Amino acid sequence: MTRRSAWVLSNGMIGMDNQSLGLAEALDLDVTIKTLHPAAPWMHLPPSLWLRPLHALRPGSDRIEPPWPDVVIGTGRLNVAASVAIARASKGRTRNVRVQHPRIALRHFDAIVVPEHDRCTGSHVIQTLGAVNRVTQARLDAAAAHFAPGLADLPRPFVTVLLGGNNSQYTLDATFAARLAGQIGDALRSSGGSVLITPSRRTPPELLQPVQALLQHYPGRIWLGSDDNPYFGWLALADTIVVTADSVNMASEAAFTGKPVYVSGLSGKNNKFERFHQRLQERGCTRPFAGELSVWQYAPLDETRIAATRVKQQLGW
């Protein structure tokens, strides 16, 4: 049976792309990534104000022309208008699937997958606890086999630390980094073992330096981008995971493993990030990090597969 074709719309933002790709992979689609670079002034305007969005792209964007795909999937504000234009240009042949709240009329989409904290509802809206993602057990198993030999000299247990960066909700500055490094040190003194530190592209130097200095006192590794990204491998090999609170994606991916996940940086603000983290705690996936580690069990968070099943139902597949 021929697999259905899909365009995944990308604006070069890895966190957004991974959500679209994760859903497309769970739907078993034949994926083509279409990279779009919106031009000014459109890139600064809400999607509802874009005129002729397929002509509002800068040079270097991929060509958007027939044959149209069976499905178009996108995440984030910068490709919302393009996805609607593609569906219209196909005269209804292309089904428009959106990840995250589109912030325009929901009638333009055939299925919308949103995290609960986006507070988006509708007959064709599929809510998830966290972000859909590309983590699968097969991917974790393969990455664990690949990266385990490079950690053979380190003592267990492994504490994997996922570092994010500043955003509109959180400031991860030198003060935060010093506190986090001190708490990780406390945990390692108590539990023994090793620390595996993987920063993101958003991690500022002032956050990275104090945490990196832990390796002067405790066994471990830090990924600085010069070799293969060990992210999936270190998730799979972790005994405990510590993740900064700024990333819904990282917390969702960590909770897929079923390992104890600690969240560092909870601020108590009443915003969507806090709603998300509260729900993860209520489900038993995470606890706030204060420098102590313990072991508990919970059902792994596999929202991507659940969302894909419901999207198929919504599209009549």
237-296 per-position pLDDT tens digit: 999 999 999 999 999 999 999 999 999 986 556 578 888 999 999 999 999 999 999 999
List the one residue out of 313, 259, 249, 315 whose CA is nearest residue 286: 259
Query: Do both 161 and 107 map to the same domain?
Result: no
Q: How far apart are CA 89 and CA 311, in angstroms?
A: 22
Is 298 part of any domain? no
Give SS3 for 263: strand
Query: Do both 273 and 247 map to the same domain?
Result: yes
Reported as a single tens digit per residue, the pLDDT across 66-96 is 999 999 999 999 999 999 999 999 999 999 9
The domain total for the chain is 2
The dihedrals phi and psi of 72, each to the nearest 5 degrees, come to: -120, 130
- The CATH number of the domain where 160 resides is what? 3.40.50.2000
- Two tokens, residue 53: 């969005």
Q: Write out the DSSP string of 127-173.
A: EESS---S--HHHHHHHHHHHGGGGTTSPSPEEEEEE----SS----
The dihedrals phi and psi of 194, each to the nearest 5 degrees, come to: -135, 160
Query: Do both 110 and 216 map to the same domain?
Result: no
Query: Do both 21 and 112 map to the same domain?
Result: yes
Query: Do both 81 and 195 map to the same domain?
Result: no
231 within 8 A of 198, measured Cβ to Cβ: yes
Is 220 part of any domain? yes
151 within 8 A of 158, measured Cβ to Cβ: yes
Query: Do both 173 and 263 map to the same domain?
Result: yes
Is 235 part of any domain? yes
Is 297 part of any domain? no
Query: Do both 275 and 155 map to the same domain?
Result: yes
Is 293 part of any domain? no
- The CATH number of the domain where 72 resides is what? 3.40.50
16 within 8 A of 75, measured Cβ to Cβ: yes
Query: Do both 115 and 176 map to the same domain?
Result: no
Q: Please identify which residue in the block is written with the tokens 């904290």.
A: 117
Query: Do both 25 and 159 map to the same domain?
Result: no
Rg, Å, the chain Cα set = 20
Query: Do both 163 and 62 map to the same domain?
Result: no
Cis (ω within 30 of 0) for the bond into 157?
A: yes
**If you average pLDDT over every residue of the chain, what do you get?**
94
Query: Do both 92 and 12 map to the same domain?
Result: yes
Q: How far apart are CA 251 and CA 292, in angstroms?
A: 18
In terms of pTM, does the model score above 0.85? yes
Range of the domain at 154: 137-288
Task: Supply the pLDDT for residue 124.
Answer: 96
pLDDT of 30 over the 90 cut: yes
Is 295 part of any domain? no
Reported as a single tens digit per residue, the pLDDT across 188-211 is 999 999 999 999 988 888 788 888
Reported as a single tens digit per residue, the pLDDT across 127-172 is 999 999 999 999 999 999 999 999 999 999 999 999 998 887 778 8
Task: Supply the pLDDT for residue 172.
Answer: 81
Query: Do both 250 and 179 map to the same domain?
Result: yes
Please give the torsion angle defined by the CA atoms of residues 5, 7, 8 and 12, in that order, rounded to the nearest 10 degrees. Answer: 140
Q: How far apart are CA 60 and CA 75, in angstroms?
A: 20
